[in-house]
Amino acid sequence: MNETLKQNRLLREPGDNSSYPSSSNDGKSHPDHQRNVSEFRLDDHGETSGGQSSLYARSREHMSSQKAVSLPSSPHEFRSQTSEKVGTSDYMVNDEMVSTWNKILESSMFQNKPLLPYREWNIDYSELAVGTRVGIGFFGEVFRGIWNGTDVAIKVFLEQDLTAENMEDFCNEIAILSRLRHPNVILFLGACTKPPRLSMVTEYMEMGSLYYLIHISGQKKKLSWRRRIKMLRDICRGLMCIHRMKIVHRDLKSANCLVNKHLKVKICDFGLSRMMTNGPMKDSSSAGTPEWMAPELIRNEPFTEKCDIFSLGVIMWELYTLNRPWDGTPPERVVYTVANEGSQLEIPEGPLGRLIADCWAEPNERPSCEDILARLLDCEYSLC
């Protein structure tokens, strides 16, 4: 990732940098998403009302407030009608770009392994019906779309952002996510790997991000203690799988935890993730979002998977207090005070507060995901 993007990532507002955010770039929430959240209520089985059929039908409606486009069954019809709106169909193949892409695929980072484990996961862009934009990432945009009759999220990498370094990040994310299979990790469905239309396709999460649900939707008071603890356990289970596969996420936060219509939480956005080594790792790139970052990452010191445990502690704090971490404090001030003064958010009382404090201890003293999962069960008994 180039230096400008590094700085933008480090100083960006926390709600803006999810790989699958739940609001558009102008700060207005996606109207379809807003309707889902406004109807958010739990039935006797702990599920939100409304089924997939209604969501699928709504995906084909015009949503004029966002200049949304309809999603016809034919992707060819869609592109002929909306190429100007989506802005991705006029890409021209650039010889230099293709050459760079081929060099990356032949580089040592893949150790002679294919980018995608199965050929069937390579999706032709013509198979996709790309619809309403639901967010902007660091070097791409996320759209709601349809693939093989299924609602999906499509992360489209913009042509102007396809530098060699960003292509490597794209490959890194695909290589990691395509090898993860867990109920609490976003499901990878495939990727378009022919430049300039580099795209990644994942399952679509109806309720958007946990950050949106807590801080923007206006529905946070409907989250019972039992539901909040269950969400934390979802995240912890997903992180346990990630760490078991020898992966460090490095950008765990509520905006990178997506929520489906059953209120199950899944971890997403592996663009900054790294494979573990035998000892602490060092990376020259800035990683994470200041409000959720472990001090060792902010100081660019060697790190282990325990940096994710610190971030999990911040998400615990969010779900306990229902407040934004470091609300009103500029990100650059957060960076300075956490890195140089050892500042922390105010730790609440009780068993969950003690667990949060342990997650914010020195790296080698932070608990494992297994320990956290067991202690969350105790927290559920005491709080519920």
Q: Residue for token digits 């529905």?
A: 219
Which of 203, 234, 265 is the last residue before a domain boundary?
Answer: 203
22 and 144 both lie in a single domain: yes
Residue 247: what residue type? I
Alpha carbon distance 261, 350 (integer Å): 31
DSSP per-residue string spanning 163-211: -HHHHHHHHHHHHHHTT---TTBPPEEEEE-STT--EEEEE--TT-BHH
Q: 33-60 pLDDT, tens per residue?
A: 444 544 455 544 455 544 443 333 333 3
135 and 182 both lie in a single domain: yes
183 and 94 both lie in a single domain: yes
Mean pLDDT along residues 242-255 = 95
11 and 127 both lie in a single domain: yes
188 and 268 both lie in a single domain: no
**What is the CATH classification number for the domain harbouring 81?**
3.30.200.20
pLDDT of res. 105: 72
Higher model confidence: residue 374 or residue 79?
374
pLDDT of res. 187: 97
Provide the token pair at 167.
């292509």
Q: Does residue 210 form part of some domain? A: no
Q: Does residue 76 form part of some domain? A: yes
Q: Does residue 213 form part of some domain? A: no
Q: 331-365 pLDDT, tens per residue?
A: 999 999 999 999 999 999 999 999 999 999 999 99
253 annotated as a binding-site residue: no
pLDDT of res. 47: 52
Q: Does residue 7 form part of some domain? A: yes
pLDDT of res. 73: 28
Catalytic residue among 32, 169, 251, 269: 251
**Cα angle for residues 372, 373, 374 (degrees, 5° grid):** 90
Bridge partners of residue 267, in order along the sequence: 185, 257
Alpha carbon distance 186, 152 (integer Å): 11
244 and 365 both lie in a single domain: yes
How does the average pLDDT of the chain come out, rounded? 78
pLDDT band at residue 101 under the 50/70/90 scheme? confident
Residue 289's nearest CA partner among 316, 233, 249 is 249
pTM: 0.77
Query: What is the enclosing helix (H) or strand (E) of 242?
Result: helix 225-244
147 and 248 both lie in a single domain: no
Q: 142-195 pLDDT, tens per residue?
A: 999 999 999 999 998 876 567 777 788 888 888 899 989 999 999 999 999 887
46 and 123 both lie in a single domain: yes
Q: Does residue 211 form part of some domain? A: no
Higher model confidence: residue 284 or residue 222?
222
Higher model confidence: residue 91 or residue 315?
315
Q: Does residue 85 form part of some domain? A: yes
159 and 265 both lie in a single domain: no
Contact 252, 314 (CB under 8 A): no
pLDDT of res. 103: 74
**What is the CATH classification number for the domain harbouring 246?**
1.10.510.10
Whether residue 238 is predicted with pLDDT greater than 60 in this model: the reply is: yes
Domain that holds residue 147: 3-203
Contact 144, 204 (CB under 8 A): yes
Counted domains in the chain? 2
Contact 157, 210 (CB under 8 A): no
Which of 170, 203, 236 is the last residue before a domain boundary?
Answer: 203
Higher model confidence: residue 278 or residue 312?
312
Higher model confidence: residue 74 or residue 111?
111
Which of 203, 228, 253 is the last residue before a domain boundary?
Answer: 203
148 and 188 both lie in a single domain: yes
359 and 226 both lie in a single domain: yes
Alpha carbon distance 184, 182 (integer Å): 5
135 and 283 both lie in a single domain: no
Bridge partners of residue 36, in order along the sequence: none
Torsion, CA 204, CA 208, CA 209, CA 215, rounded to 10: 180
| Backbone φ, ψ for residue 48 (5° rounding) | -80, 150
Q: Does residue 22 form part of some domain? A: yes
pLDDT of res. 372: 97
251 among known catalytic residues: yes
Q: Does residue 212 form part of some domain? A: no
Rg (CA), the chain: 20
